[in-house]
Chains A and B, each alone.
Chain A
Amino acid sequence: MRRRLIASIVGVIAGAVLAGCGGSSVNLGTPGAVAGGKAPGGTLQVAIASAPDQLDPQKTTSYPSFEVLDNIYDTLVAPNPKTLRMQPSLAQSWTVNHDHLRWTFHLRHGVKFDDGSTFDAADVVYSYDRIIHGKLPNAYRFATVKAVSARGPHTVVITLTKPTPNLLSDIGGFKGMAILPKGIASRLNLATHTDGTGPYMLQSQNPGSITLVANPHYWGKGPYVGKVVFQFIPNATTAVTALETGEIDWTDNIPPQDISNLQRNDTLKVATVPSTDYWYMTVNEQRKPFGNPLVRRAISYAINRRAITEAAMFNAATVNETAIPKTSPWYFSYDPYTPNLAKARALLRQAGVSHLSMGLMVTSEYPQTVEAAQVIAAELAPIGIRVNVQTEDFSTWLDRESKGQYDSFILGWLGNIDPSDYYYDQQYCKAADNFQHYCNQQVDRLLTAAGTTSSTARRKQLYDRAARLIVDDNSYIYLYNPDVVQAWSDKVKGFIARPDRAINFDTVRLSK
């Protein structure tokens, strides 16, 4: 009410100064009418931490981009919002042939892109070919794909060079594999414009926000809100204050230390859902003495994962000594490293190492890694490892990681669904993301077998065995699985906080 008063005063001044050019105040906190009936109404005000870098779903790798694009584009299949099991989306059903080398997808009828064109098999072929032939960031997901072809307007066949049981999560795990209309990249600048089949369409954007409007031709249920405005609020205190004052309705820019405060606010809902992400520490095995598994094991015994999780995440995370979280059906319960300084010292002695100095590279992009590093530094000091914490911006961090210019680092892998996402690219000897240079032929054999076995039970066994070896070798010293933390006003109904961090507003309704 008071703000309305100030707004009126400001409006009068603006009117006087600018000779009647003024209009009504546009305030973050004045969403429109209540949604009800069939026509979507009202405006959902959302705060995300940063502006999308670009809007081409197949080219961007930035999370803020996907927060917006999740609502604009669709994939052939999509994870269930709670279980993450792959379910139909633009493909209504699919079959796999007897040798598991040919997948046939039957497409949904009557789906339209924002430009009015009808979705069909040619769009799927175009979209996947664009990723593969353009060598776009997700081309690696098609590593086993021999060809993508259309069999009529509503059938797509993907042929493979070897069985790929995780094909569904590869093509549907996130919107980086979005389906675009055929030939769109030559007609439209996809970095700044969109043309999807999802529940919302891009209406406008400026450096401070992006506005989406409900897609009246959306093939699924919803949307129930007329507009979604994504405001870019980098400072978490500002975002949380704007949520508390009602200027925004939803945010995920919440520092872990603010969670308990927000939970005490009756007008807000705070979701803390275990995510599919994991955070870890690793060492450069090409540098002495970190190639010695005894040294890595000593580090693993010396650190207290619970203390690290508490300091870095204020307990908005679950300690885990393997990668896959407890909530996943692929979880493998294995936790051999109860903190034990005497054992850690003995292992270092056995390795012939004393007075070790170790650089620990972390990044200001993920402040929790800086916090975790401080704790690790304190915990390794008593066993004679002097840790030099090196905080870099993310660009330098990644560059040093690629060039192997580090002793050790802390980072996480986000948005994993299939167990291959958790292990293959990071632990296979020649894998692209095996920056720690870990190599165990037995692990390679297990990961290869698991990656081509179609029986879920058999895959689970193989991944469990691989995980045990990786943990024993301390290729990665796994730390914790963080929670997804999101908060919204109690007038926002129907939002589902998902373990994969996808942000979908198609189920949301607004009430007063």
Chain B
Amino acid sequence: MIGYIVRRTLQAIVVLFGVSIVVFAIVHLVPGDPIRLALGTRFNQQAYDALRRRSGLDKPLVPQYFYWLGHALTGDLGVSFRTGQPVTQLIGQRIGATVSLAGAALVVALVIAVPLGLLSALRPRTSLDYGATVISQTGISIPEFWLAILLILVVGAKLDWLPSAGYVPPDQSVSGWLEHLILPGIAAGVSSGSILTRFIRASALEALGRDYTLTARSKGLRERTIIVRHVIRNALVPVVTVTGVQLAYLLSGVVVVEVVFAWPGLGMLALQSVQSRDYPVLQGAVLLFAAFFLIVNLAVDLLYARLDPRIGYASR
């Protein structure tokens, strides 16, 4: 098990290294000039040259990459062109907001998906199943920005139940943080929940039709025990995989929801860094997103063994 984790970690480092090269190449290939943008609409050649020199962009790309990599290995991801702040600080300031939102969205997703998916599988081809299908299809089809604006207009403005936008850090006020988290959490979680509903339904249906379920039934086990001990547990393996992907997606910043709710997360930071060609921030943010995916995938793989004792790691 430990050997497996070490091996996967080493693989992750190689992947991150590859990602850093690809990201570095891509951000420099994208048209647009961060220095031109930083100077605004009024152009001044001397100011342009001075800022370009100060930012280190006057050097060839390969030395620029190795300079960046050398610092990145020591935990220094550089300084933002746009704000002059260290990239690690900018990311650190936003990670709390992103983790809060991803966590809330996942809770919303699971609250929707688990009951709806299971009920749908247990009563296939009934009006309940069709109803659940309509609900999950609707959830997948509704654009996040539309749902977000609808929630703001109805729950925030019309009903006046919750604040329409903004973020309060939990260390400032826990209730303020929760109050501001509910609407963005719903807006970001509905689509993931709807996708998960489909997966839970499919895997539960598959488990219900398997021989071990038939055997459990023929042994005379109670339906409740069959579902909890045999169906749900076996259905969970694929569901955990999809949940992991959804979590990594949510951690990578739900840009649209963040923009509409003025939620200062990593998605908004990444979007601003793309718009302003803020190379150091963009590289830092994409590396972090890649790291999220790798960590979540590893956690999912480790969870398999807990869920299904037949899965082991020693021989792999």
Contacts and interface: CB of A to CB of B under 8 A. Distances in A.
Nearest to B277: A395
B172 A233 contact: no
A16 to B, nearest CB: 11
Given A245-B164, A399-B33, A24 B42 contact: no
Q: Which of A7, A191, A238 has the most CB of B within 10 A?
A: A238
A192 interface: yes
A154 B246 CA distance: 64
Given A135-B50, A235-B260, A53 B161 contact: no
Contact of B175 (A25, A62, A137, A238): A25
A11 to B, nearest CB: 4
A189 B34 contact: no
Contacts of A26: 168, 172-173, 176
Nearest to A229: B166
A508 to B, nearest CB: 21
Interface stretch (B12-20, B81-89, B224-232, B292-300): B81-89
Interface in B61-83: 82-83
A238 B164 contact: yes
B47 A135 contact: yes
Contacts of B97: 207-208
B300 to A, nearest CB: 26
Interface string B148-186: 010011001101111111111100111111110010000
Given A14-B174, A53-B82, A394-B37, A207 B262 contact: no
Given A21-B174, A53-B83, A247-B165, A137 B47 contact: yes
A23 B173 contact: yes
Contact of A245 (B33, B37, B160, B276): B160
A472 to B, nearest CB: 25
Interface of A, secondary structure class, is: loop
A2 interface: yes
- Chain A interface size, under 10 / 10 to 19 / 20 to 34 / 35 or more: 35 or more
Given A25-B175, A235-B260, A396-B31, A242 B47 contact: no
A39 interface: no
Q: Which of B157, B174, B261 has the most CB of A within 10 A?
A: B174
A10 B94 CA distance: 23
Nearest to B39: A137
A449 interface: no
Given A245-B156, A245-B157, A247-B163, A395 B37 contact: yes
A3 B277 CA distance: 40
Nearest to B182: A10
A244 to B, nearest CB: 6
A101 B84 CA distance: 37
Interface string A225-236: 000000111110
B259 interface: yes
A402 B39 CA distance: 12
Given A395-B276, A398-B41, A433-B43, A208 B264 contact: yes
B160 to A, nearest CB: 5
Nearest to B269: A207
B32 interface: yes
A394 B39 CA distance: 12
A6 interface: yes
Contact of B165 (A3, A28, A365, A398): A28
B256 to A, nearest CB: 9
B174 A6 contact: no
B97 to A, nearest CB: 7
B179 A10 contact: yes
A411 interface: yes
B172 to A, nearest CB: 6
Given A25-B175, A237-B149, A6 B162 contact: yes
Given A7-B179, A235-B165, A241-B153, 5 more contacts: A192-B84, A207-B90, A207-B268, A395-B36, A413-B41
Interface of A: 1-3, 6-7, 10-11, 13-15, 18, 21-29, 50-51, 53-54, 56, 59, 61-62, 134-137, 139-140, 189, 191-192, 206-209, 231-235, 237-239, 241-242, 244-245, 247, 365, 393-396, 398-400, 402, 411, 413-414, 425, 432-433, 435
12 contacts: A25-B175, A27-B179, A135-B49, A137-B42, A191-B83, A191-B84, A233-B166, A241-B153, A393-B275, A395-B34, A399-B36, A400-B31
Top-4 shortest CB links A-B? A191-B84, A61-B40, A395-B32, A207-B264
